[in-house]
Amino acid sequence: MSNIVVLVKASLNPEVVRQNPDGTFDIDYTPLKISDVDRNALEEAVRLKQVFGGKVYSVTVLTWGPLKAREKDLRLVVQEALAKVADEAFVVADESIIPGDYSVTANVIASVIKKMGLNPILVLAGEASIDESTYQIPGRVAAKLGLPYVGYVRRIREVRDGRVVVERDLEDYIEVLEVPLPAVLSVTQELNEPRPPTLIQIRMASRKPVHMLTLKDLGLDVKRQRSIVEMRVVTVSRKQVLIEEADVEKAALKLVEYLEKEGVLRL
């Protein structure tokens, strides 16, 4: 059986950054959403599922609390994975690993894959999550599973003879690589155009199994390394002058006048 595992993160939404009165970041009231690039990974899984013929599993490790307050957001993320392509979802929600720690998250993901017998031919993840953007969970998971890892996959060209041919987008050039399977890939936004799940898919998703796990279920003991000292919201103080004119000539004149006053026009 050639299964696919897609790593799907419930990330803090950077478009809705909540702030405490003292300027610190209010994590508890900032909502979660699916990490954008994971949608590209899910979309690719739709295509690859037909090639491999096995099952698709999504794995999500909750990294932000408070647990109770995250239930609804978490459910929506998992539901999207199921509606889109996953046959079953594995979710680890456990107070003891909140807030997340990169090494812990990777260990938990690898443990779910091994202990739940997911047996993947391919693990797909995003290049970076939208909250932490650490670019490292996929590489860590590969190391834990002892599999080859290729990051920044911009295109999956073909699957042949137990290998995938991919284009990897590195710092200064693009490489076409042949990767032996099983393997872990992280993908970029350029990979495909994710389509939102249809209403029927969303309805079907509610019948698919969601396995809620704790560290105890996995028999895992972990040690966190990072202690967060402080989180500050970066204040952007832009003037926010609105120029809204039915007549574009008027709008252009207005803008030019403002820019001259700012001293940023040199014609």
Q: Which is nearer to other proteins, 49 or 144 (CB)?
A: 144
Q: CA 199, CA 211: separation in Å to the nearest integer?
A: 23
147 near ligand AMP, rule: CB under 6 A: no
Q: Which is nearer to ligand FAD, 134 or 198 (CB)?
A: 134
**How many residues bind to ligand FAD according to rule CB under 6 A?**
5
7 near ligand AMP, rule: CB under 6 A: yes
Position among 3, 4, 5, 8 found at the interface with ligand AMP (CB under 6 A): 8
Coil, strand or helix at 234: coil
150 near other proteins, rule: CB under 8 A: yes
Footprint of ligand FAD on 9-48 (CB under 6 A): 36-37
Footprint of other proteins on 92-121 (CB under 8 A): 101-103, 106-107
Residue partners of 224: CB distance under 8 A and separation at least 6: 97, 101, 104
DSSP labels, 7-53: E--EEE-GGG--B-TTSBB-GGGSPEEE-HHHHHHHHHHHHHHHHH-
264 near other proteins, rule: CB under 8 A: yes
Computed from CA positions of residues 93, 99, 102, 107, in that sequence, does the dihedral angle turn out positive or negative?
negative
Footprint of ligand AMP on 61-80 (CB under 6 A): 61, 63
CB of 14 to other proteins, least distance (A): 4
179 near ligand AMP, rule: CB under 6 A: no
Footprint of other proteins on 44-83 (CB under 8 A): none
CB of 43 to other proteins, least distance (A): 14
Cβ contact 40:188 at 8 Å: yes
What angle do the packed helices 137-145 and 102-115 form, to 10 degrees? 50
Q: CA 93, CA 63: separation in Å to the nearest integer?
A: 8
Residues of this chain that interact with ligand AMP (CB under 6 A) are: 7-9, 35, 37-38, 59-61, 63, 100, 105, 125-126, 128-129, 132-138
